[in-house]
Structure 1
């Protein structure tokens, strides 16, 4: 008969196992758990004895999970989240009682437009937690799946794991940003107009969207045109600095700069035929579907985008 590994197993050890798996570093795991590193090492030793597996091996950068640990932790993450939600279902949610760390990933355009505002809003309502707002990367989806990242915001990415929920956020309208004294003075520009097709563009690299071809290039290709891309960067700050000093056009979202910005003007965009999809989506693990903290964060992000849009209109 197979051994019942759940018998006499401390749930705190399972939480420790999951955090070690997510951090793959004992020091970082101890900081996140608010215990000493020797205490985490001692817990890991207990887990190794209990499961009869090494669980993690040392590398130059930290720890690498064994195949058994990877399989175990991927199954544990949603199960433990469901357990914690069930235990806390009847408790009234109060952001001021939140402790620990909240990790939020934002695509570059959103971290520029909303990053500091999001931190300040979360900190005001939940002053006892540690907030990490960081730029979306190629590991964001996997970190959402393993629980390392709580919630993430980007343009709509259709090919995502079925384990992730997708909450559509009210979109911001596309605009073209130019320097204040740019020679193009109209309030609207047609993307396929003679002026636009001859202009030089500065484009933002957005992970999971346009690493290979910019939105402008993809749109122009639909009309058998070739876009003149003069500058590409993953940094909105860098692009705006270039736009400030040149005649380059920067296609982006209305929320990127305020209407009364002293250095820039926003030009409304007119598109012919197929539109570029600027749908905005918050991604989070299915296990957090009914989690009050997740719903609170979704509400904050949606309110910030709506407030920024209202301010800019």
Structure 2
């Protein structure tokens, strides 16, 4: 009778296996698991003996998974994630005693508006927490899948396996221009914007290959001019401060910090244009006390900033 691997195997070895299959590097796997590289090698050898497969072979860039290892990682991931969710569900969470690091990837269009506010908020509610803010990139979804990011904040992204999405807030669109811009009303239509070039902020994974304002204008039969595109919000601010370009943004933009700029509400079909931002995190953290708390804190900061 074949040996029952479920009862004979140390399940912690499978956790090591999953991390190693994600990193394909024993040093990086050791860092994520807070163990030594020899400990990773020992765990791998035990797994090889029990599963009768080499699992990983050396490659120029590190390790390469065997076909068996790739299939095993794919098959066991949902079960280990479910076990993690069950074990962590309902655990008490005290932000005042929380001493771990939280790494948040934030879209460029949001980072320039929230970075200082997030830090100030977290320093009050979780004073021992280390907050690490990084820019949202096209690779951020993969980093969330690999548990290299705690949570991401961005505009709408394409669905990715093992990544859960929460709506954080619905924002009202704003057109940001210099104070002396020819547009003087509190609202503006696409027709009124047509003569002026667009200075657009790129959000990786959202509008890499298009400018949303231009798409909306084209739907109304207009011919927009895209004058400048970048991932750096401050570069766009510098452009609109010295030209008649306009920057499509939202009520999250901290207009009060820029006396040389003004915000105008764009109308689409006669009503203010709206867009949404979302939280992205690994599905295994769904309903955990820490993640529920994190989402709530980010929502509070967004609400506070949009009121301003």
Asked if Structure 1 and Structure 2 have the same fold, meaning a TM-score greater than 0.5 normalized by the shorter chain, the answer is yes
> Deviation of residue 51 (structure 1)?
2.3
What residue ranges of structure 2 are gaps of 5+ in the alignment? none
> Deviation of residue 2 (structure 1)?
4.9
Aligned length: 308
Aligned to 1:228: 225
What residue ranges of structure 1 are gaps of 5+ in the alignment? none
Match status 1:141 vs 2:141: yes
Aligned to 2:196: 199
CA distance in 2, matches of 1:32, 1:130: 17
**Aligned-pair RMSD on alpha carbons?**
2.9
Aligned to 2:184: 185
Provide closer, same or farther for how the CA distance between residues 125 and 226 of structure 1 changes in structure 2, counting only shifts above 3 A: same
Q: Contact conserved, 1:190 with 1:269, CA < 8 A, in 2?
A: yes
Aligned to 2:34: 34
SS for the counterpart of 2:199 is strand
CA distance in 1, matches of 2:239, 2:154: 24
CA distance in 2, matches of 1:224, 1:12: 60
Aligned to 2:114: 114
CA distance in 1, matches of 2:11, 2:127: 27
Q: Contact conserved, 2:172 with 2:272, CA < 8 A, in 1?
A: no
Aligned to 2:265: 268
> Deviation of residue 131 (structure 1)?
4.6
CA distance in 1, matches of 2:101, 2:3: 35
Write out per-residue CA displacement over residues 143-191 of structure 1, whole angstroms, 9 at most, x where no aligned residue.
Answer: 434444333222234x524754332122221111123443433333222
Write out per-residue CA displacement over residues 38-62 of structure 1, whole angstroms, 9 at most, x where no aligned residue.
Answer: 3223322322333223333334443
Write out per-residue CA displacement over residues 244-278 of structure 1, whole angstroms, 9 at most, x where no aligned residue.
Answer: 23221101122122324234222222223697651
Aligned to 1:87: 87
> Deviation of residue 298 (structure 1)?
0.9
Provide closer, same or farther for how the CA distance between residues 79 and 42 of structure 1 changes in structure 2, counting only shifts above 3 A: same
